[in-house]
Amino acid sequence: MTKPFHDMPFKSKLPNTPASIFSRMSALAQEHQAINLSQGFPDFDTDPKLIEAVTKYMNEGFNQYAPMPGHISLREQISFKYDKFYGINVNPADEITITAGGTQGLFTVISAVVEKGDEVIIFEPAYDSYKPAIELMGAVVVPVRLMAPDFKIDWEYVRSLVNSKTKLIIINNPNNPTGRVFSVDDIQQLEYIVSAHNIVVLSDEVYEHMVYDVHKHISVLSSEILRSRSFVVCSFGKLLHTTGWKLGYVIAPAFFTIEFRKVHQFNVFSVNAPMQLAIASYLDDIDYYYSLPKFFQEKKDFLLHALKDSRFNVLPTQGTYFMLLDYSNISEEQELDFAERLTIEHKLAMIPVSAFYTHGDNQQLLRICFAKKLQTLTAAVDILKFI
């Protein structure tokens, strides 16, 4: 008799990869009808003008495959933005590819660059998709642990990790979950390391337009040295409050883009056609980019002010729409235990920061997402003030 498949030996390619903490906390929030500040998505509406534009292109019949690298009107719009914002020249024809969100961009870069046995340096706390993608390629993750309160990078230590197997360094600037933004010095230190070795850079810049106070976003594209060896990943989900649309893009020099597209075309081939066209027309209004940091700064400042009298210590947020709360004045519980208890007993869900590390110590930190309506944030503050 033939054996059923589940009785046959089958080796998982990702044996140590649990379900994501975001799904776990969101499910717990739903079960206990808690306010969900755990997952990184807005709870406010998408601009009706953008939705109308998608409907318009659908009605006009743009419902078949888009070109493999993306609609040229959208790639031109992206190129226009880099010119206007940073004075950087990006060629829409052979340096930009439209992807199914930032996540697909990240995965495709890693697939195109990383080989079995390579080493990839990542900075932790890190976005959760980097590690499994590297491991699927048979490569080795080399984590650099950054710790609260400032999560400063010790570049001397990073240099000590580089060897002949180091293929890629992944940075996330502005960083989820720390809210930290790269300084001029960070960029120079990175330049120094990668130019001394043959290392590729993957720069995850999905929060580039959410930078506050005196801080400025410095893209790796603004450095001659980094630009020639970097892939930059961006997300329209973050930019336009449309995380469910899963659209983004990757910028890289032409010779890298050729390699990227070889994988991209057999991964998704091309991505959502009417939405690409709608986004291209919507972004004709360049003021949108300028309005975004102000929009989120108000939410950040509201929380900062409202939590002054609470027992939580708020860590500074330089960028992104995340804020870290230190609860060491309240409890010695492990982060996951504390986060679960708050969800169940106080009806407020947040993310334990230890989940962003390979081996997470208890720093007594929780991450909240403030891309929420004022009403949601006010309700959350009313809970946090009394914990």
- Could you list the residues that contact ligand PLP (CB under 6 A)? 40, 101-103, 127, 172, 176, 204, 206, 235, 237, 243, 246, 248
Q: Find the shortest distance in angstroms from Cβ 238 to ligand PLP.
A: 6
Identity of the residue, 92 or 319, whose beta carbon is nearer to ligand PLP in the bound complex: 319
3-state secondary structure the chain: CCCCHHHCCCCCCCCCCCCCHHHHHHHHHHHCCCEECCCCCCCCCCCHHHHHHHHHHHHCCCCCCCCCCCCHHHHHHHHHHHHHHHCCCCCCCCCEEEECHHHHHHHHHHHHHCCCCCEEEEEECCCCCHHHHHHHCCCEEEEEECCCCCCCCCHHHHHHHCCCCEEEEEEECCCCCCCCCCCHHHHHHHHHHHHHCCCEEEEECCCCCCECCCCCCCCHHHCHHHHCCEEEEEEHHHHHCCHHHCCEEEECCHHHHHHHHHHHHHHCCCCCHHHHHHHHHHCCCCHHHHHHHHHHHHHHHHHHHHCCCCCCEECCCCECCEEEEECCCCCCCCHHHHHHHHHHHHCEECEEHHHHCCCCCCCCEEEEECCCCHHHHHHHHHHHCCC
Query: Could you tell me the smallest distance in angstroms from the CB atom of residue 295 to ligand PLP?
Result: 18
Query: Whole-number minimum distance, CB 353 to ligand PLP, in Å?
Result: 14
Nearer to ligand PLP, 69 or 125 (CB): 125
Cβ neighbours of 215 (radius 10 Å): 18
Task: Decide whether 127 or 282 has the Cβ nearer to ligand PLP.
Answer: 127
Residue 92 or 177: the one with the smaller Cβ distance to ligand PLP is 177
Instruction: Give the shortest CB-138-to-ligand PLP separation in angstroms.
Output: 23
Measured at the CA of 276, the angle between CA 270 and CA 281, to 5 degrees, comes to 155
248 versus 352: smaller Cβ distance to ligand PLP: 248
Query: Between residues 25 and 310, which has the closer beta carbon with respect to ligand PLP?
Result: 25
Quick one: 235 or 317, whose CB is closer to ligand PLP? 235
Q: How far is the CB of 275 from ligand PLP (least distance, A)?
A: 13
Order of all β-strands in the sheet with 351-352: 313-314, 322-326, 365-369, 351-352
CB of residue 41 to ligand PLP, shortest distance in Å? 8
> Would you say 310 or 321 has its CB closer to ligand PLP?
321
CB of 286 to ligand PLP, least distance (A): 21
CB of 245 to ligand PLP, least distance (A): 9
Question: Least distance from C-beta 61 to ligand PLP, angstroms?
Answer: 27
Rounded CA-CA distance 184/202 in Å is 18
